Each structure stands twice: as C-alpha cells, then as structure tokens.
Amino acid sequence: MPGGHLQTLHAALVASRPRVTYRRERWDTPDGDFIDLDWLDSHSRDDKRPLVALFHGLEGSSRSHYAVALMAALGATGWRGVVVHFRGCSGETNRLRRAYHSGDSAEIDWILRRLRGHAGAQALYAVGVSLGGNALLKWLGEQRVAARDVIAAAAAISAPVDLAAAGEALGRGFNLVYTHHFLVTLRKKTLAKLARFPDLCDRGLLLRARTMREFDNVVTAPLHGFRDTDDYWARSSAKPLLGAIAAPTLVINALNDPFMPASALPRDSEVSRAVRLELPASGGHAGFVSGAFPGRLDWLPSRLLDFFRGTVTAA
C-alpha cells in the first residue's frame, strides 16, 4: 500500500544513502533563463568515459534519492554523470515567468544536444525519472531516428506517460499525501514569482488548489501555453509517442506505482521494437527498494547500467 511504500523507502534512504560530491555549472537557456547542472566529480572530466545525464522528477533535484544512488553507482563504475535541474529546482528561482512541465521536450532537446558536445566521442545516455521520464520519452518519440544522433540509449523510470490517469490518481485517497508534499514547494515557488510578476496567476485560486488538476489549471497550463489542465495533460503525455521511438530505450514502471494505475501503463503493442518495457510487480514510485528491511537502493542503478552496457554489446 502507499503508506507502506513511503515507510520502506524512508528506511532505505536513512540506511543506505551514499555520499556524492557534485560540481555545479550554470547554463543560460536559449530564451534568456538559466538552469543548473550538478556534475559528478568523483573523477576528473575527460572524453574517455561514457556520460549519463539524469532528468529528475516533479520538484526533484540532484539530492533526490534516485539521483544520489545513480550518481554513486556511476562514480563506482568510473563513468561520468550529471543531474540536470529543471528551471527553479536547483534552489534558486529562475528568471522568467515560466517554470518547467511534464511535456517540455523542447527543453530536453537543447540540453541533450549541448551535452552531446560534453560527451565527445563517447556514448551519451539519458535517464528520466517520473516527470523527467515522461518529458524524455516524449522527446524520443518526437525525434524518432534523429534521437540516435544525440544519445546512445535512454531509460525512463516511473514515468507518468498517461498524465490524465496519473493526475486523477494523485487526486484520490492516500495519494493526496503525495500531492500535498508537491504543492507545498510548488505553491511557495509560485508565490515568490507572484512578487515579481503580479499578473502571473490568480493568488486566491493558487492558495485554494488542493490537487494537481487544480494547480495545473491555475499555474502550469496557462504559464506554458496550454488552454487548461486537460489540454496540458493530453498534449504532454508521452504514451501516444512510444510507438515512434527509435533509440534503444528502457521503460520501467512498477505495477504498484501509486501514481500510475496499472490499467494506464503501456502495453507491448503500444511501444516500438526499440523499447524494452519492464513492469515489475513492486517498486512503488521511483522506489525499487531491494533486500531485507530496511532495504537498499542499488537495484535501479544496477539495472540501468546493465541496460546501457547491453546496448553497446548489441550495437
């Protein structure tokens, strides 16, 4: 159940959280904003090792448990790693009115193309978790074969590829605990922006928002060019594009993910031959705790690295 998943994940975090040292770099965006990237600095940066870029989930960061676990595994393996922060998620408010959203494949595009230069002659791999996973899959589906000129392979973890199904699930029952957690920081960030842009949104409606549907209708949708929540969720969902993906891609969604009903998860018939679809019975939302209580968080990084190594062998 969701409550049990939260307790198990928290125990695993306390028991096995590795230490990771980052070096921060700021990039200006094409539209005059900025993003911050945290580079894994366990080894010096050079052009002789593969590079793995991670796009985090809603209100995530380089300190999210899955980011730390993956970067620690990369450091132990001798690979390079970088966590890309979406706008406003690195601890500093971004410059523009806009923020980030689940379907921002244009943001994924320019970032990966710039990272392609950092990778040099070596392979560039992309990982997206939750919101970042949906945006990455959307980019892969839109780019089709062209994506293979940028990345060697990709992986999406706990991606809400059907945003309407995920949004409705987050608006019910125990899942409102997760929603409240997200809204605390989303509301705080939006209020800070309202001080700079008084016409950003309706303050009263913002303060009254209790579900992701309500928040997206007041803030996310209008800020990013969508008519309303339904338009945003429909146009940003990656599920309709999974059949067009041409780059080797691993998609992992647990059947007990509280954010995504099993009935809304993609089927083999809905993905291309380039997509490896894995639907484990357990794992919750981006948890995937393994071993005896309190558990470990090493299963997911190991699976990702095995998949990426396998794509090199297959090629």
Please state, in angstroms and as integers, the Cα–Cα distance from residue 79 to each residue in 50, 132, 179, 308, following that order. Answer: 6, 21, 35, 12
Residues 6+ apart with CB under 8 A from 108: 55, 126, 135, 136, 138, 139
Chain centroid to Cα 66, Å, comes to 10
d(CA 264, CA 145): 26
Catalytic residue among 105, 130, 236, 237: 130
Q: What is the full DSSP assignment across 273-285?
A: TTEEEE--S--TT
Say which of 90, 162, 285, 298 is annotated catalytic. 285
Answer yes or no: 130 catalytic.
Answer: yes
Q: Which tokens sit at 107?
A: 């943001």
| Cα–Cα dist 160/178, whole Å | 14
C-alpha–C-alpha distance, residues 1 and 286, integer Å: 15
Question: Residue 148 is which amino acid?
Answer: R
Asked if 140 contacts 105 with a C-beta cutoff of 8 angstroms, the reply is: no
> What gap in Å lies between CA 220 and CA 227, rounded to an integer?
10
- CA-CA distance, 28 to 30, in Å (whole number)? 7
Q: Is 236 part of the annotated catalytic residue set? A: no
- Whether 105 is a known active-site residue: answer no
**How far apart (Å, rounded) are the C-alpha atoms in residues 212 and 36?**
25
Rounded (10°) CA dihedral 184, 98, 140, 289: -10
CA atoms in the 13 A half-sphere facing the CB of 266: 30
Say which residues have a Cβ less than 8 Å from residue 229's Cβ, sequence separation at least 6.
167, 213, 216, 217, 220, 221
Question: Of residues 38, 162, 257, 298, which has the active-site annotation?
Answer: 257
For the annotated catalytic residues, the residue numbers are: 130, 257, 285
